[in-house]
Amino acid sequence: METTLQGVGVSHGVAIGEVRHMGTAVLEPPAKQIASGDTAREQGRARQAVEAVAADLKARGNLAGGEAQAVLEAQALMALDPELLADVERRVAVGSTAERAVYDAFASYRALLAGAGEYLAGRVADLDDVRNRIVARLLGVPMPGVPDSDEPYVLIARDLAPADTALLDPALVLGFVTEEGGPTSHSAILARALGVPAVVALPGAGELLAEGTVIAVDGSTGEVFVEPSEQKRAALTAAAAERKAALSASSGPGATSDGHKVPLLANVGGPADVPAAVEAGAEGVGLFRTEFLFLDDSAQAPSQDKQVEAYRQVLEAFPGGRVVVRVLDAGADKPLDFLTPADEPNPALGVRGLRSLLDHPEVLRDQLRALATAAAGLPVHLEVMAPMVADRQDAKAFADACREAGLAAKFGAMVEIPSAALRARSVLQEVEFLSLGTNDLAQYTFAADRQVGAVSRLQDPWQPALLDLVASAAEAARAEGKSCGVCGEAAADPLLACVLTGLGVTSLSMGAASIPYVRATLAKYTLAQCERAAAAARATDSADEARRAVQAVLSGE
Ligand code: PEP
Ligand code: MG
């Protein structure tokens, strides 16, 4: 029988496909003893698992090619190391199960590697991955990390960290369902960047949606249909196609129906997101999340050359347009070994964003210089902004660093901390623009971790308190004659985009897939209607009431 589950829809569209689970970390196998008569069989199991994992790694290397192939082949060689296998067999001979023997043999090899100089120590993560794969195979549980599948699938995970998602093949992921995460979690942001439907905050999804089950995910309503009937599938697909067709009619710059311009910009994580942004008609980039460049190797910053190349590819794509680059935002849910303290009791309130960069001025300086080199000679309006600015002192430190690096760009501050919204005029004495990061602004205003599904109600950007802070920043910018955009996920909600416009926000930046929806809705209303909608939303006491009030104003009830 068809069952329907309800989560929070965070990325439009319908995905229908088989469930694949994100493999969780491999648990330590229990130290059970085997009977002496089982030794040969257990050794055979270990050998087979090692060979199968090595063959699989090689095959995936062949498919991937390039740098990935070299890494996967090196991992296959690690799996086949004769000394390691001999150690596994010795451990089985004295009574270990195959999985426990693999686990222990890899542990002693790992200790050797970790102490053998920087290069080999850097291979420890690869070795752990090989061990996890062999142990998972022996235990008959899914492989850890991103599923190994040649067929497209719907990914089910507890939550997705940016480091996991960097490994996803967009051609294979039809959509996501996660147990945790709110509308502003990185799972949601990634789904929108990939343009795939997604539902988050669906508790128990891991257990309720078994591997291999066919499900339909409606990323607009938040519904997940288990084993949908043919009829249901057809109806869902037709409704999604209809919504899409209605949108393709919209094009051109963002504006209200009476011509008040609100540039619609794209949020990108790197050059790979640029084609979708251009295709959606983005008028530039409102948020380039440069930390994705740094997540490949959390032990060190990418080289200058690598940074220059990535920045240039994005800057070149928008001749005459604006590209707002955010300097590295590490820490909290995006930790980097070389920057983020490992022992913080509460990383979201610790040394993250601009705070990390001010502690490591050389990383900021190198990034700003790489940006200056990348932008040289290009006809683009480069703007650079800092994440997690708390006050005027932070804003000044960032502006000074930009000047020292000789950057010909506008310098700005993200407003993600309530203090910066409340004292926006003071922050604006140091910088030329503001950009509201409503994801973190909601997190810090409501003391609600954006990664925790249980508090997603408080992460709702329609909360009137959040709108008050947006209004405070936008009014300050207007008084100072400067601009104030929104680049948090609030900008991607078409109706809320009208409210933000009414609050005085001067540009909206979002994942490319949302641009047509926002453009089409904004074009239906005048600026005066947007202002009335904004006032009505702020006059309520909850996110739901705010939504209803705005719907009533805009539908002329
Ligand atoms: C935000 O916090 O709203 C934002 C845009 O930054 P990120 O989502 O990358 O933290
Ligand atoms: Mg943020």
Stretch among 169-183, 200-214, 263-277 having the lowest mean pLDDT: 169-183
CATH topology of domain 254-555: TIM Barrel (3.20.20)
Task: Say how many Å lie between the CA of residue 119 and the centre of ligand 1.
Answer: 34
For residue 366, is pLDDT > 80? yes
At 420-450, the pLDDT tens digits run 999 999 999 999 999 999 999 999 999 999 8
Residue 119: exposure state from Cβ atoms within 10 A (0-12, 13-18, ≥19): exposed
pLDDT score recorded for residue 2: 73
Tell me: pLDDT of 116 over 70.
Answer: no
* Ligand 1 atom nearest to 490, measured from its CA: 3
How many angstroms is it from 556 CA to the middle of ligand 1?
34
Q: In the chain, where does the domain assigned CATH 1.10.274.10 lie?
A: 36-139
Residue ranges of the chain that CATH labels 3.50.30.10: 3-24+145-230
Contact indicator for 139, 32 with CB cutoff of 8 Å: no
Residue 322 Cα to ligand 1 middle (Å): 19
Residue (of 354, 330, 336, 344) closest to 300 by Cα position = 336
Closest CA to ligand 1's atom 8: 439
Nearest residue to 473 via CA among 463, 464, 462, 486: 486
Beta bridge partner(s), residue 327 = none
Nearest to residue 184, comparing CAs of 440, 419, 416, 435?
440
Angle at 60 between CA 55 and CA 62, to 5 degrees: 95
What is the spatial distance between Cα 420 and Cα 417, in angstroms, rounded to a whole number?
Answer: 6
pLDDT band at 170 (very low <50, low <70, confident <90, very high): confident
In terms of average pLDDT, the best of 111-115, 292-296, 415-419 is 415-419
Distance of CA 58 to the CA centre of its chain: 29
Q: Which residue in 454, 10, 16, 4 sits closest to 223, CA to CA?
A: 4
Q: 416 alpha carbon to ligand 2 midpoint, in Å?
A: 6
pLDDT band at 513 (very low <50, low <70, confident <90, very high): confident
Count CB-CB contacts under 10 A for residue 255: 17
Q: Is 553 exposed, middle or buried (0-12, 13-18, 19+ CB in 10 A)?
A: buried
382 in helix, strand or coil?
Answer: strand
- May I ask the CATH class of domain 36-139? mainly alpha
Say yes or no to pLDDT of 457 above 90.
no
Name every protein residue with a CB atom under 6 angstroms from any ligand 1 atom: 287, 289, 329, 416, 437-440, 487-488
Q: DSSP secondary structure string, 259-312?
A: --B--EEEEESSGGGHHHHHHTT-SEEEEEETHHHHTT-TTSPPPHHHHHHHHH
Pocket test for ligand 1, best of 326, 356, 414, 493 (most atoms within 8 A of CB): 414
Residue positions annotated with a catalytic role: 186, 487
CA 469 – CA 490 distance, rounded (Å): 13
18-25 mean pLDDT: 84
Instruction: Round to whole Å and give the CA distance between 424 and 522.
Output: 26
Q: Radius of gyration over alpha carbons of the chain, in Å?
A: 25
pLDDT in tens, 477-501: 999 999 999 999 999 998 999 999 9
Ligand 1, atom 1: nearest CA belongs to which residue?
Answer: 437
Please list all protein residues whose beta carbon sits less than 5 angstroms from ligand 2, which is an ion.
416, 437, 440
pTM: 0.70
What residue ranges of the chain are covered by domains with CATH 3.20.20.60? 254-555
Confidence at residue 1, expressed as pLDDT on a 0 to 100 scale: 62
Selecting from 1.10.150.120, 3.30.70.520, 3.50.30.10, 3.40.605.10, what CATH number does the domain 3-24+145-230 have?
Answer: 3.50.30.10
* Average pLDDT in the chain: 90
